[in-house]
């Protein structure tokens, strides 16, 4: 998201894409939901899209057999702290944040003194080696599709599986397209088959996946350019006049809320809930 914004920055700096530098710059320039969301459409529209994200997330997480007062949670890619706040509202026993950037770790540390926030790249083979097997739940919302290297993606999933307790839950969002999609500079949509295979190799089994968006995000899961073109045309007014995002969001929110509750798949981002194999399943027969 916000690829045009990044290209302008990259041209100005005459540098190749470096994820940590990109996100440091982006969050320094836009500390808010428009910085971690769709940077092209301003804060008002992004606030509405995050309302949908939260509704879908809570709808699914509250259905899990979890006693939140006993749950130890790791949130990956904490950014401006939206998901830290959601987890805190659920009353979890312990909460740790993880982010790639110094600016996020510093500001979140000031805002949430009761939450430990660590600066770390989850795709680093050395990530959080002192916390192996400590977490009941790990979340990574709108994070993994920003890992553009397949090798780093596999390493990130391996690290996440290692950090989970047996039978722990991994909750994340992905696009899970059904055919190969073009890769952008800081964004890649992987196929459902590819992601499922990577998860399975690490003992993570998909329990449930549901659409996060149907109408309020670009339809990336399509082999035709027509839906993507129509989306860009429809959103052009918001791009030029961000205040219109209030009207777009208010009009689309009830429809999106209904559709995400009815449909089992969507043309865009999906929320995925995985469970790690239990100790019994891991042990040889």
Identify the pLDDT of residue 149.
92
The C-alpha atoms of residue 82 and residue 56 are separated, in whole angstroms, by 14
Nearest to 100 by CA among 82, 124, 116: 124
Are 214 and 263 spatial neighbours (Cβ–Cβ below 8 Å)? yes
Q: Give CA–CA dist 167/110, Å, rounded.
A: 33
Q: Taking the domains of the chain in order of start, what are their residue ranges?
A: 3-279
Contact 212, 271 (CB under 8 A): yes
User: What are the strands, taking DSSP E only, across the chain?
Assistant: 72-76, 94-99, 116-119, 135-140, 164-174, 204-211, 270-276
For β-strands 72-76 and 94-99, DSSP reports them as parallel
What SS3 class is residue 273?
strand
CA distance 146 to 39: 14
- pLDDT in the model for residue 1: 39
Q: What is the pLDDT of residue 179?
A: 84
Rounded Cα gap, residues 74 and 117, in angstroms? 10
Distance, CA of 250 to chain centre = 23
Which class is domain 3-279? Answer: alpha beta
Whether 166 and 282 have beta carbons less than 8 Å apart is answered as: yes
β-strands 135-140, 72-76: how paired? parallel
Record the pTM.
0.91
DSSP string, 106-121: HHHHHH-TTSEEEE--
| Nearest C-alpha neighbor of 220 from the set 125, 141, 145 | 145
pLDDT at 186: 80
CA torsion 168-114-93-126 (nearest 10°) is 20
**Per-residue tens of pLDDT for the chain, all 285 residues:** 344 433 444 444 445 678 889 999 999 999 999 999 998 999 999 999 999 999 999 999 999 999 999 999 999 999 999 999 999 999 999 999 999 999 999 999 999 999 999 999 999 999 999 999 999 999 999 999 999 999 999 999 999 999 999 999 999 999 999 987 767 778 899 999 999 999 999 999 999 999 999 999 999 998 888 998 999 999 999 999 999 999 999 999 999 999 999 999 999 999 999 999 987 776 554
Query: What is the rounded distance in angstroms from the CA atom of residue 153 to the CA atom of residue 143?
Result: 11
Residue 6 has a pLDDT of 37
Q: Collapsing DSSP states into helix, strand and coil, what is residue 72? A: strand
Burial class (CB in 10 A: 0-12, 13-18, 19+), 127: buried
pLDDT at 280: 73
């Amino acid at each position: 998201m916000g690829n045009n914004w990044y290209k302008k920055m990259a041209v100005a700096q005459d540098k190749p894409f470096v994820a940590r530098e990109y996100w440091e710059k982006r969050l320094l320039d836009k500390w808010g939901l428009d910085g971690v969301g769709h940077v092209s459409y301003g804060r008002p529209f992004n606030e509405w899209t995050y309302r949908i994200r939260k509704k879908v997330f809570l709808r699914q997480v509250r259905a899990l057999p979890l006693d939140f007062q006993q749950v130890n949670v790791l949130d990956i890619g904490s950014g401006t702290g939206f998901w830290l706040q959601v987890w805190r509202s659920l009353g979890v026993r312990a909460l740790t944040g993880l982010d790639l950037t110094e600016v996020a770790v510093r500001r979140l540390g000031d805002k949430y003194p009761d939450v430990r926030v660590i600066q770390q790249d989850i795709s680093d083979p050395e990530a959080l080696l002192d916390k192996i097997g400590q977490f009941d739940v790990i979340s990574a919302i709108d994070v993994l599709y920003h890992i553009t290297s397949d090798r780093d993606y596999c390493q990130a999933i391996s690290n996440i599986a290692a950090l989970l307790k047996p039978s722990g839950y991994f909750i994340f969002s992905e696009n899970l397209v059904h055919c190969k999609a073009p890769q952008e500079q800081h964004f890649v949509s992987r196929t459902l088959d590819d992601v499922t295979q990577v998860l399975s190799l690490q003992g993570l089994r998909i329990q449930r996946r549901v659409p996060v968006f149907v109408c309020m995000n670009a339809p990336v899961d399509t082999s035709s350019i027509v839906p993507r073109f129509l989306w860009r045309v429809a959103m052009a007014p918001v791009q030029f006049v961000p205040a219109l995002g209030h009207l777009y969001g208010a009009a689309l929110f009830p429809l999106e809320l209904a559709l995400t509750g009815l449909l089992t798949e969507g043309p865009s981002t999906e929320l995925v809930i995985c469970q790690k194999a239990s100790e019994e399943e891991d042990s040889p027969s």
